[in-house]
A and B are shown apart, each in its own frame.
Chain A
Amino acid sequence: MAKRDLISMEDLSREQVELLLDTAESFLPVLERDIKKVPTLRGRTIVNLFWEASTRTSSSFDLAAKRLSADTLALKASGSAVEKGESLKDTAITLSAYGPDIIVMRHPSAGACQVLSANTDASVINAGDGKHQHPTQCLLDLFSLRQTFGRDLSGMKIWIVGDILHSRVARSDIMGFQMLGMDVTLAGPPTMMPRGIGEMGVGVEYDLGRLKEADVIYLLRIQQERIKAGANFLSSLREYSRLFGITTARLHPHQRVMHPGPINRGVEIGADIADDEENLIAHQVFSGLAVRMAILYRTIVGYSDVSSGGEVL
């Protein structure tokens, strides 16, 4: 049997996405118990391989594996053989000797998951590769949306605002949001809008004039390095904030804000919005755990029991 990798949102069908979200929902009661652990993946080995800094994603994968009683092994690029010049292929071969069931990887380069997958029998889960994909972030975003707005998200209008060009989250989210029938619009400065992105079937806006149409506003982090001299993606954070920063004044009462974190208060998001619990930002972090439990579980047991409605406990 071919192993199950999750490298891109394109690896999943709509049915599989729905099943993953249902599975995540069924794990929620576990997370409310005093003893938040089930024996589901006892004896399984999950490796977390993070070649880039990460707080949320690495910690939630680690905790998700532990909640499912899997054995975990966490590796970071710093302090490992990578610093001694070991190639990804050799790291994959070395780790495979331990017979892991899943390798979760974050890597700065698109194409890294393909190299890893070609050199291991373990299933590969992409925890972010370059600017390419971040499918588990997309799934937790979908979970938060569903928990907030109900199972049927079709017809909802979502705006993704910010640095689309450099965002793997945006690319996965566009695919996932569209899969569940949402209407996606991208907004940001033209320098940060990839040429040809419109062919993904999204609207493209260079200002927030029509922002009121949005039900949900998904903000992306603006990175300091984009204003480095010579890069010229932005002239200043101040100007970005003035044109695209989301403040209470720009928001209609019915609109909800999401952000994959970490946030830059005062740049892409006003402090008052960041602290407003009506928004989904904290919920997204919470969703990460249940959704990553579901992803690990489904990667090992498969997606075939669709008839059970995702009930696993």
Chain B
Amino acid sequence: MSPDFHEIWVYLSASPLAGLTLTLAAYQAGMWVFERFGRRPALNPVMIAVLLIAATLMVAGIDYRTYFDGAQFVHFLLGPATVALAVPLYRQFQQVRRSAVALLVALLTGSAASALSAVAIAWALGASERTMLSLAPKSVTSPIAMGVSEQIGGLPSLTAVFVILTGIIAASFGTWVLNLVRVTDWRARGFGMGVAAHGIGTARALQVNEVAGAFAGLGMGLNGLVTAILLPILYRLFFG
């Protein structure tokens, strides 16, 4: 390696610029593949981007922390984006108000079923307690899930990974399972995606239908509230 090249390498691998550029480039590559092959849900752009970046970092020998120093600028926008969900929510407010009872019952059922079934399946197959606790909040958006995970004794960063994987699974197989149970109402389809699969489910719903997107955003927000409040209480009941 020539001295010049070495210097550039040292600069690049330590500068936030590289991580940030890599994130955007990998996501665009993911979007390109997604569009190019007929928008198949299985070719989720997030999954493609994550795999591309992880492979690049491993080949280049850069650790996750260094990468995140740059990528955190993208990560940070999750906050304002969550706030922005108020807009589609407002536009659908009349519809939301009409189906308030249905929403509430579906929310509580779906929220409890997601968390309990995750822990139950993991327990039945012999997962460690740490893993089970990290799985419990995985249906809600990462900042909430990580906070809850920490409160109940899970590993926040592991929970973040479970959160993303949950979203990718829902974005990939959500259509299939919703058709399987014969739900055709856009509001219900969107709400299911949002409650069970937070922002990635919502992103998927928004791609398809504005009503579904609004209800997904609503489901994501409401389940964030419910999970943040109920899960620590449930944990204290069972383990405390």
User: Is A bound to B?
Assistant: no
Q: Interface of A with B (CB < 8 Å)?
A: none
